[in-house]
Amino acid sequence: MEDNKVLSRKEKLERFLMPLGMVGVIFYLVHTILGNILWPEYNPITMDISSLTADGASNQGILRVFTMIYGICMVLFIIGMIIKSDRKYHLGTRTGYVVLLGMEVISLFGYTAFPLVGDKTVMNFQNMMHITVTVAVVVTTIASGFTLAYGYLVQEKMKNLGKFILIMAIIITLCGIISPISIVMGLNILGLTERLVIYSLQTLMFVLSFYYTKCDK
């Protein structure tokens, strides 16, 4: 009886946390769209997303509120997924969500502590730390994607979701490779390549949140 009560509490917590992934994605997308609207000179093709919340950016205050809410929602959503996967899924799935949680925690606290400052091409300490955070986020994002895909694919009933995650992990990886290549080639499309990576990730997170909110009964 006591075990059933604990399980029931966990299930209620999971149901509360599952929609937060979708909420987080919405806040993130609003911050990128609103930032572009409020900054007429901003070019989403050539300028990175971090410039919207950089120290000295014209609307950094309100946009940082959106990114903070996004980060908190994502951390809570993934904690919910870890709780769920701990009792339902393969070790690979649990490991993937733990790595994904690490990515979101690094992103939330790293970008809050080290936003871009001044001329982003100047490698002062803060900008170097911002780049370091970005590298850690990219590596953990890719690692979590392929680990999650494996964890789902080895479970017969979850193979379709595993295939989707694998496709998104490949897309994120390929788009991530395009970014440094375009810089080396002198193509001024950093904003575009970054958005291909981040919007692919946000698509993955939204689908996972939607699935576990509406379809996983």
Q: Categorize the per-residue pLDDT at 4 as very low, low, confident or very high, splitting at 50, 70 and 90.
A: low
Please, which residues bridge with residue 117 across strands? 55
- 22-37, pLDDT tens digit by residue? 999 999 999 999 999 9
pLDDT of residue 215: 81
H-helix or E-strand spanning residue 205: helix 190-210
Contacts of 35-39 with CB under 8 Å at 24 or more apart are: 35/59, 35/63
pLDDT of residue 200: 97
- 51-70, pLDDT tens digit by residue? 999 998 889 999 999 999 99
- 94-139, pLDDT tens digit by residue? 999 999 999 999 999 999 999 988 666 678 898 999 999 999 999 9
E strand residue ranges, the chain: none
pLDDT of residue 12: 85
Closest CA to 115 of 182, 68, 69: 68
Closest CA to 168 of 137, 146, 194: 146
Residue 74: which residues within 8 A CB-CB, separation 6 or more? 20, 21, 24, 104, 108, 205
Dist CA 14 CA 106 (whole Å): 23
Q: Would you give the DSSP letter of residue 211?
A: I
pLDDT of residue 171: 96
Dist CA 103 CA 55 (whole Å): 23
- 161-216, pLDDT tens digit by residue? 999 999 999 999 999 999 889 988 989 999 999 999 999 999 999 999 999 999 87
pLDDT of residue 57: 87
- Structural domain boundaries of the chain? 2-215
Q: What is the pTM of this model?
A: 0.91
